[in-house]
Amino acid sequence: MIVTILSVVFVFSVLIIIHEWGHFIVAKRNGVKVERFSIGFGPKLFGITKGDTEYKVSLLPLGGYVKMAGLVDESMDSENIKGEPWEFNSKTVWQRLKIVSAGPVMNFVLALFIFIGVYMVGVPVLTNQIGEVKEGYPAAGANLQQGDKIVAIDGVRTKKWDELVKIIYQSADKELAVTIERDGEPFQVTLTPKSETTNDVFGKEHNIGLIGIMPTSDFQTEKANPFKAVWQGTEHTVKLTAMTYKGIFLLATGQVSAKNLGGPLMIAQLAGKEARRGMLSLFYFIALISINLAVLNFLPIPILDGGHAVFLIVEAIKGSPVSMKAQDLSQKIGLALLLGLIVFATYNDILRFLGKS
């Protein structure tokens, strides 16, 4: 329990600080006075004031905010807007758009740097060795054995488990020439993967090919040089970002069940689990959540950064700000949607913990 609590605090602290620091530093660079930098919401626990900014930690740790001079926030209080040059609303649309976008952008940057670091430190990967052969599948029919290594499929070299699995998955009902290494001696067998239906990470059904083998529990560490790590980290960040957007689209269109949504309780459980596996796993988890946070914040929902960006884009097109009345109504709708989403996701978490989902 202590490990879970500490890991949750660490994960949320890193994500919040990076996100709000993005808003903070870009606001400062564009001449906006930042009045408050808060980690958490609610009553102040402790803090210091340095220059024009109060830095504080508040009671509720699930979030944070940067209070900028002249910014109309969720309270819709415009009394303190004086039109001073250091106020948020005194800046150009482009400057304000950079400021509101900086938070989620920094979450993407955080994920990218973590993935680059992970690839440089070394990623544990499964080898091409067979750990188990299941009866009733093509591998058993071809007399494959535990300890055999699959070194090539149709002439394509396979050094890692995910390489051979990818080929087999995509070859349902297709004859394959498989090169096996047993006790250091290579030989070739021909087999046809059996077509079966499975669910992907979004819960959608797909037909894949299976030959009835399982990997060993042995891993090998695969390290990348800095240049390759940058490429792999960037590729992985883009891939996970695309998957996140796809998941949101499938949820919004009803193609996958909303029961797949997870909330704070699930994040807490997973954070504790990854922390027990080691710091590398925990930082990978932080990167994954950071991407989800960035994507969520870029959605065009009022009260989120994406909603503020939409208001600014509309202002740029029409040549004048969106009315306070329209912003007020939009903020209230956005807040209701966000709170409803959090409540529903937490309800899903509770059902999972009770074994009912």
Nearest to 23 by CA among 236, 316, 309: 309
Q: Would you state the torsion angle of the CA atoms of residues 339, 299, 36, 30, taken in this order, to the nearest 10 degrees?
A: -170
Alpha helices (runs of H) in 159-304, residue ranges in sequence order: 161-169, 226-252, 264-277, 279-298
Strand partners, 64: 39
Phi, psi of 233 (to 5 degrees): -65, -40
Could you say which of 20, 54, 185, 222 is catalytic? 20
Q: Is 163 a catalytic residue?
A: no
Contact, 146 vs 130, CB < 8 A?
A: yes
Question: CB-based contacts of 188: which residues, under 8 Å, 6+ apart?
Answer: 177, 178, 179, 180
Query: In the 8-state DSSP scheme, what is residue 335?
Result: H
Is beta strand 130-133 parallel, antiparallel or unpaired with respect to 213-215?
A: antiparallel
**Which residues are tagged catalytic?**
20
